[in-house]
Structure 1
Amino acid sequence: MKTFHCNHCSHLVFYENVRCERCESLLGYVPELAEISAFEVAGEERWRSLHPGAEGALFRQCHNYAVENVCNWMIPADSPDVLCRACQLTLTIPNLGAPDNRLYWYRLEMAKRRLLYTLAELGLDVKSRQADPEHGLAFEFLEDGGDGSRVMTGHDNGLITLNIAEADDAYREKVRTAMGEPYRTLLGHFRHETGHYYFSQLVENNPRWLEPFRKLFGDESADYGEALNAYYRDGAPADWQASYISAYATMHPWEDWAETWAHYMLIVDVLDTSTSYGVALLPDDPSEPTLTDRTPVEDASFDNLMKRWFPLTYALNSLNRSLGMPDGYPFTLAAPVVEKLRFVHRVIEAACDKSLPREAATPPGEAPVAQPVVQAGGQPAAQAGAAPAEPIAAQPAAPVEASPAPQAPAQPVDAPAPPLEPVASEPPLQPEPATVQPATSKRPMRRR
């Protein structure tokens, strides 16, 4: 995530902000520019962008921005759409008559938009069901029914379902503790479930990748139901950290892929943010990890990403401990896990037809020479292929990985504006909104 500024007064702002706290200009995200822009009124329900890249173009607010207050994306004024690209992906929203459901919907949409930003930065195309009924991506945000029916977060042929209870911080923390996870977040869920989606799009029917996938992750044709039952009956193998990013990844090759994909999303997102903010590590002691490389993530080789990841996570965990918080990165990346991450990098690179430096033709499962084992908390790295050292963090690695989601978007300097504060009272046009979930859900149980 890059840094953003108000184009009217140059005040620092965040990706989620809707108003500049210094000059009170309306803010909105313009996906065509991949930028937050300040806007000035240019007529009824029309706003002129102040971003230099927009050259004075006119925009409208997404209906879910202007009316529902759960979005901050803008739409070109001459577009027939009334919902932005992000909101078009949501097919079903929670029943807004229930207490807190609007706040949960807001948090879900916020996490989804962060995921979409990362996918766009990587060059991955995201098509809606409207644009591509057969292969498009879609989301349903559902809640458990009053009749005892349960909604499970999961993926089914491009349709990602999330239980809105995951947007309740207390509920999510309870589940995290019960499952022995270091942390559990909405963004991690979105990353994981889109991993399933992109497996079907990029790997499943691609002869170039399927056999290398099986050498690294295993045979995906193994019965999923049996694997699921075995995992919840027997748990993960005792030595799972030697080959997997999380305990849940041991359940089935599909889950191993989705967990690895999610972790790759985490790495590139954090590195992109640190690079954009000019984060550098320049210790006085030359034996301590340094970080001066600011190669843009989209131009970096996989080895470059890994080289920068170790010192950054060492500093991150040290900062968290100074705050009295748990380690921000309680993971161990053993050599086989690094190779799985490399495979994800190569698949994405090929799918986006990037001109990135090509990776060496390393056989799947065999670590390249001098490839480090990245240790959680910044432990000194072991030699490639060696058994991973114990991570600093006492907790086991998590099946969902992301930084804790805030209850509302923070402001850089001044007090934050309420996330649901209205900006406009009327929609620009009559939209075709997502289906509202009925009070009682009849959705079947899904994975996760």
Structure 2
Amino acid sequence: MRTSTRHRTTPAAHRLTAALAAAGLGLTAAACTAGGGASGSGPKAGEKQTIEVWHGWSAPHEVKAFQDAVAGFHKAHPNITVKLVKDQTDDRISNAIRSGNPPDVVSSFTTDSVGQWCRSGAWQNLSPYIAESKLDLNQFPKAVQQYTQYKGVRCAMPLLADAYGLYYNKALMKGEQPPKTFTELTALAKRLTVRAPDGTIKVAGFMPSVQYYEHVPQHIATQFGIRWLTPDGHAGYAADPAVKAYLKWNKSLIDWYGYDNVKKFLRSMGQEFESSNPFEQGKVAMAVDGEWRTTFMEKEAPKVDYGTAPAPVPEGQEARYGSGFVAGTVIGVPRGAKHAPAAWEFVKYLTTDTTALVTFANALGNVPSTIASLSSPDLRLPPQFQTFLSVFKNPNSATTPPTPNGNDYIVKFQQFVQDRWEPGKVSDLDAALKELDAKVDDSLKLAGG
């Protein structure tokens, strides 16, 4: 979930850090049975008690939004007092679990570590609670159900979400309609690009490089239908035709710009989460980004007339148009929680109560994570936000599968694209992808996957 105070690094750097952090999580429950189990420890939910909840939000308006969202919980459960602890990171959460003194509820901005948490038991298996509560998981879109579990162990619940789509500058588009296919996107990007006499890029119609902010493989390659891993959990890049389709599209547009021109443009870019962002500056005509960008546009570039649409899909896959990449914040009950039954009641309320979700979504500019909350008349978000609500509930929207070592398989793929593919250092793509598969599989094997 992006807000101006929370993310100071680019998504690529954040994900590289997340993968390294995920590797350390293997120590959290080395002696624990895989998957863990709901402990049910502590007083019953109906008894008077105080639960401690750790979350990562830190800015005053974020903290207040969380407080407002949980206010209804105390009304429904007057015996349970909620102590909120802000600005908590995955490392602090892991250290608390490792030390045997965790809070009662924990949340994370990334889904990258869900596989590790579920497998190790660092976050409790919520299935017994879900069954006892008769909670219908179909109130969440399919992709959301996927990123909150690992191999049948559901150790997390979704708390707000991110959905990705195409932003376009209406003035630069000059009446053109947003593209629905990558063929249309490529042609339009070339028409809208403005170059200096020496060929350098003054205005990019669309910047395909994985080094451009949110144009990381998850958000673009997912639109090509990449499977990421085989059904049995192995790397499948070499055998997936969608991988080659994505890579060939990426390289063809980079070559049209000229790799040196792309590098110069990337070096000239401002900060992603500041007004110097090139889309907000009118230096990029179209870009894939998350729903939070609507809030940034409102605050930092209110004069820019822009629209949003689903990200394009390859020709021949038009039936999938309207879908996109989705992910989000997750919340759960850590192993060793002293008030586990009450903690579950809190998690259930915050992740399924429409009023709480809408209150939170309105304040943070994120997507509420249940199907019912998506159509709430109380949502107060800009018109351009509707695209992301639609993408989120689209049955073809997808996410990346969890693994025991976080998003290492994505990090390795992005490094391959950034360091070898885009610069033109790959002479045999088939061989290079097989080599990449072997590296990913070796890493998964070391992690116990």
* TM-score, normalising length: structure 1: 0.28
* TM-score, normalising length: structure 2: 0.28
Bigger helix share: 2
